[in-house]
Amino acid sequence: MLRKFIATVILVASLHAQDEKFEIIANDVKTRENNVVVATGNVVIYSKTYYITAQKIIYDKEKETFELFDDVMILRNNNVQSKSDYAFLDMKNDGIYQKPTMYYDESTSVWISSNESDKKKEKIYIEDSIVSSCDCIDPDWSIRSSSADYDTEDKWINIYNPRIYMKDIPLFYSPYLGFSTDKSRRTGLLMPSFGLSSSEGTFFSQPIYFAPAKNYDIEFIPQIRSARGLGLYTYFRYADSPDSIFELSSGYFKEKSDYVKEYNLRNTDHYGFDLKYERYNLFNGKKLDTTDGIYVDLNYLNDIEYKTLEDEKYRDDVESKIESRINYIYNTPNYFLGSYFRYYIDTTKDSNATTLQELPKVQLHSYSRPLFLDKLLYSADLKVTNHFRRDGISANQYELNAPLSYSFSLLDDYLNFEIKHSLSLNRFNYSNFSTTKYEDGTFAETNTTLSLNSDLIKPYDDYIHSVNLFTDFNKANTIKENGDLIGVNLIKIDNPISTNDLNNNQRYDELSSFPVAKSQDTIAFGLNHSFYDKNSLEEIIKHKIKQTILYEEDNPKLQNLENEIVYNYILGSMKNKFIYNQQDKKFVESSTSFSLNYNNFYLKLGHYLARQSANAGFDENLESYTIDSRYKLSNRYSIGYSTRYNIEENLRTNQTFKFSINDSCWDLNLKYKNEITAASTNNNLGRIEQDIVYIELFLKPLGGVMQEYEINKDN
């Protein structure tokens, strides 16, 4: 009897299979006239596309339709799932009618509950629906609408007369709402930002995103600040080849006259543009041993506000000096060619005429190659730089460095010895004089360096220890020096008294942009060693120490002591690097950091110190510390704190408190931020301190909104 039942079920499925072969299992299967099959009791239907369950089905072979009753569940492609009391499937026309229905897309976690739905091809048309990605019984948020349609292929839903609810509280109504249910890039509105400021009034920006093709997109971000002004920023991205990316952004903001007057701003209009282009394999035809590439980063602005008013997701760290670059390199196994353009805009100045530019610098480098003997190596490096400015002294600089070296091993490779002799030439051709005329400077020297080092390695039970000991002896010899040269024959006098002293310092200041590094006779000793885990080969401890001795006519002087140590442990790392100047008897530079990542807690501390020292080459005092911390209170809640403090100026430049809720269907981020931003005022570059509260709510995958409230603002 069982054998007869199974045979009947399989026979029915086989007879009615065309594009899709179905198999039906049920407590009872009967065949009626006109090729109609009726199955009742725990019915299961499955094929390569569908898995369907119901209590009763009626299958019409000629019309290729399924009619399903009671506890209907339809799973398609192991992803899209729906439940209903009644369903009608039209396999020939790829249509499904259900009433009432619960539709669920597993890939996006979006569900739709409605009184009835009608699927035609890839579109589902829905009446009186509720949409959410939260818990089905008591959703944290939901969208209720009179009607909607959902494209299962494009993953896009259109909702008509939507009302957004948080629990049972209505928050928002709109005649229409459309959004993507996945994360693919597509045209539409991105997350808007709202804000409230005591100085700028109400703030609103709405990013508008266009993605007409896979290789380019455009984003417009209009913004309005009711008490300050309005503006528009535009971003264009284009990939013209698999090896390249092009980005162009521009913006304009118009200030209200009352705001300009109150904060003493330099300009009423703020505008600028940024262009970036990066491409590899430009001319080399993808030769395996040759690489080339171009990098372009052009930036123009009329003042610093162009950057500070930009949307936060595109805003970089604001610097008073804006740099533009065009670099091209061509690299072969034997030669390297580089061309570099540098253009600077100093936002602290009303005019950029006195700012020194590099237009351009060209570099030609020949890699080390044997000369007669395998261990006798030579190389050469030539740089030509055009230092230019409209007002002030300009110069063409020529730099040549040509080293020749020979190395060999001693004591069965325990010691390595190298002797190197290098020729260095530095030439300045000055131009664009005002009143004082300067003589072109030429400086040439040779350096002979004797190096002795030893590389040792020893394994232990749990770790490996590697050691590098070295000593370098350098003898400098000046071949030629003539003309006006900073640091060679033009030395600044600390306490000028006579007219000659004052004239000397004036000449020094005017040529200070063109320094010459004159080598000295030195001896350096150093130790580099590391400990590695024997199994993973990960570095545990790294330590470097180097002491330089300056000797002049039998009068040796200890110079900089450089020390660096890094300890990587299972929960983070500790690092310290310092330079101690023996002549000044003080630390002239120190950088320390500590990180800890334990369970739900993360902490990173940083400290930087620099002290003015003529002997070490530091010209200002700096000291600051940074703190960045996060703690995860639970799977959903986390808090954070970060700050940056300038100890030297006794000034906190940034302080942020964060609180976040990360739920499966929504996120909430609260942030209080106290920061100091730059401003272009009539008194050059000023500072504005402001306290801001950010509120960001994101409903997955609908999108979200960011609100910004300014509590206080001082200038």
> pLDDT-derived band of residue 571, with 50, 70 and 90 as boundaries?
very high
CB 527 within 8 A of CB 468: yes
User: What is the rounded distance in angstroms from the CA atom of residue 311 to the CA atom of residue 219?
Assistant: 12
- Least reliable range by pLDDT among 414-428, 560-574, 661-675: 661-675
Task: Report yes or no on 1 lying in a domain.
Answer: yes
Nearby residues of 127 by Cβ (< 8 Å), 6 or more positions away = 114, 115, 116, 117, 146, 147
The predicted-structure confidence for 117-126, as pLDDT tens digits, reads as follows 888 888 888 8
Indicate the helix (H) or strand (E) that contains 262. Answer: helix 257-262
Predicted confidence (pLDDT) at residue 10 exceeds the cutoff of 60:
no
User: What is the rounded distance in angstroms from the CA atom of residue 696 to the CA atom of residue 109?
Assistant: 21
One domain, residues 329 and 236: yes
Task: Report yes or no on 606 lying in a domain.
Answer: yes
Using left for φ > 0, alpha for ψ between -120 and 50, and beta otherwise, residue 516 falls in: beta
CB 710 within 8 A of CB 193: no
pLDDT of residue 286: 67
> pLDDT-derived band of residue 710, with 50, 70 and 90 as boundaries?
low
One domain, residues 552 and 578: no
- The last residue of one of the domains, among 558, 592, 610, is 558
One domain, residues 534 and 672: no
- Least reliable range by pLDDT among 51-60, 402-411, 675-684: 675-684
> pLDDT-derived band of residue 705, with 50, 70 and 90 as boundaries?
low
Cα-atom radius of gyration of the chain, to the nearest Å?
Answer: 36
- The last residue of one of the domains, among 312, 347, 382, is 347
User: What is the rounded distance in angstroms from the CA atom of residue 178 to the CA atom of residue 196?
Assistant: 27
CB 348 within 8 A of CB 289: no
pLDDT of residue 19: 62
pLDDT of residue 16: 46
Residues in the chain: 715
Q: What is the mean pLDDT of residues 199-224?
A: 90
Query: Side chain identity at 644, as an amino acid letter?
Result: R
pLDDT of residue 61: 85
SS3 42: strand
> pLDDT-derived band of residue 5, with 50, 70 and 90 as boundaries?
very low
SS3 303: coil
pLDDT of residue 686: 63
CA angle 257, 260, 264 (to 5 degrees): 145
Task: Report yes or no on 549 lying in a domain.
Answer: yes
> pLDDT-derived band of residue 109, with 50, 70 and 90 as boundaries?
confident
One domain, residues 476 and 612: no
Predicted confidence (pLDDT) at residue 660 exceeds the cutoff of 80:
yes
The predicted-structure confidence for 299-340, as pLDDT tens digits, reads as follows 999 888 898 888 777 776 667 788 999 999 999 999 999 999
The structural domain count of the chain equals 4
DSSP string, 666-715: EEEEEEEEEEEEEEEETTEEEEEEEEEEEEEEEETTTEEEEEEEEEEEE-
One domain, residues 332 and 225: yes
User: What is the rounded distance in angstroms from the CA atom of residue 126 to the CA atom of residue 423?
Assistant: 81
pLDDT of residue 500: 86
One domain, residues 79 and 6: yes
One domain, residues 466 and 509: yes
Write the CATH number for 93.
2.60.450.10
Predicted confidence (pLDDT) at residue 25 exceeds the cutoff of 60:
yes
CB 139 within 8 A of CB 663: no
The predicted-structure confidence for 136-182, as pLDDT tens digits, reads as follows 888 999 989 999 888 878 888 888 999 989 888 998 888 988 877 77
Nearest in space to 33 (alpha carbons), one of 58, 10, 11, 14: 58
User: What is the rounded distance in angstroms from the CA atom of residue 200 to the CA atom of residue 583?
Assistant: 53
Average pLDDT of the chain is: 87
Nearest in space to 319 (alpha carbons), one of 298, 290, 345, 293: 345
One domain, residues 444 and 577: no
CB 701 within 8 A of CB 133: yes
Write the CATH number for 612.
2.40.160
Nearby residues of 219 by Cβ (< 8 Å), 6 or more positions away = 190, 207, 208, 209, 210, 234, 235, 236
One domain, residues 553 and 575: no
Nearest in space to 389 (alpha carbons), one of 432, 425, 422: 432
> pLDDT-derived band of residue 434, with 50, 70 and 90 as boundaries?
confident
Residue 223, domain extent: 188-347
One domain, residues 313 and 211: yes
One domain, residues 495 and 614: no
Burial class (CB in 10 A: 0-12, 13-18, 19+), 105: buried
The predicted-structure confidence for 232-256, as pLDDT tens digits, reads as follows 999 999 998 888 999 999 999 999 9
Q: What is the mean pLDDT of residues 567-591?
A: 93
User: What is the rounded distance in angstroms from the CA atom of residue 411 to the CA atom of residue 552?
Assistant: 33
User: What is the rounded distance in angstroms from the CA atom of residue 365 to the CA atom of residue 375?
Assistant: 20
Cα 349 vs. chain centroid, distance in angstroms? 30
Task: Report yes or no on 297 lying in a domain.
Answer: yes
Task: Report yes or no on 182 lying in a domain.
Answer: no
DSSP string, 78-117: TTEEEEEEEEEEETTTTEEEEEEEEEEETTTTEEEEEEEE
Higher pLDDT, 715 or 482: 482
pLDDT of residue 395: 95
> pLDDT-derived band of residue 23, with 50, 70 and 90 as boundaries?
confident
pLDDT of residue 239: 92
Task: Report yes or no on 134 lying in a domain.
Answer: no
User: pLDDT > 90: what percent of the chain?
Assistant: 49
Higher pLDDT, 360 or 698: 360
- Least reliable range by pLDDT among 320-329, 422-431, 614-623: 614-623
User: What is the rounded distance in angstroms from the CA atom of residue 128 to the CA atom of residue 151?
Assistant: 17
Nearby residues of 469 by Cβ (< 8 Å), 6 or more positions away = 453, 454, 456, 526, 527
One domain, residues 85 and 219: no
What's the per-residue H, E or C state across 161-221? CCEEEECCEEEEECCEEEEECCCCCCCEECCCEEEEECCCEEEEECCEEEEEECCEEEEEE
CA angle 436, 439, 444 (to 5 degrees): 145
Q: What is the mean pLDDT of residues 610-628?
A: 85
What's the per-residue H, E or C state across 108-171? CCEEEEEEEEEEECCEEEEEEEEEECCCCCCCCEEEEEEEEEEECCCCEEEEECCEEEECCEEE
CB 163 within 8 A of CB 144: yes
Nearby residues of 564 by Cβ (< 8 Å), 6 or more positions away = 542, 543, 544, 545, 575, 576, 577, 578
Higher pLDDT, 47 or 318: 47
Predicted confidence (pLDDT) at residue 554 exceeds the cutoff of 50:
yes
CB 401 within 8 A of CB 380: yes
Task: Report yes or no on 145 lying in a domain.
Answer: no
Indicate the helix (H) or strand (E) that contains 473. Answer: strand 463-482
Predicted confidence (pLDDT) at residue 643 exceeds the cutoff of 70:
yes
Task: Report yes or no on 275 lying in a domain.
Answer: yes
Predicted confidence (pLDDT) at residue 484 exceeds the cutoff of 60:
yes
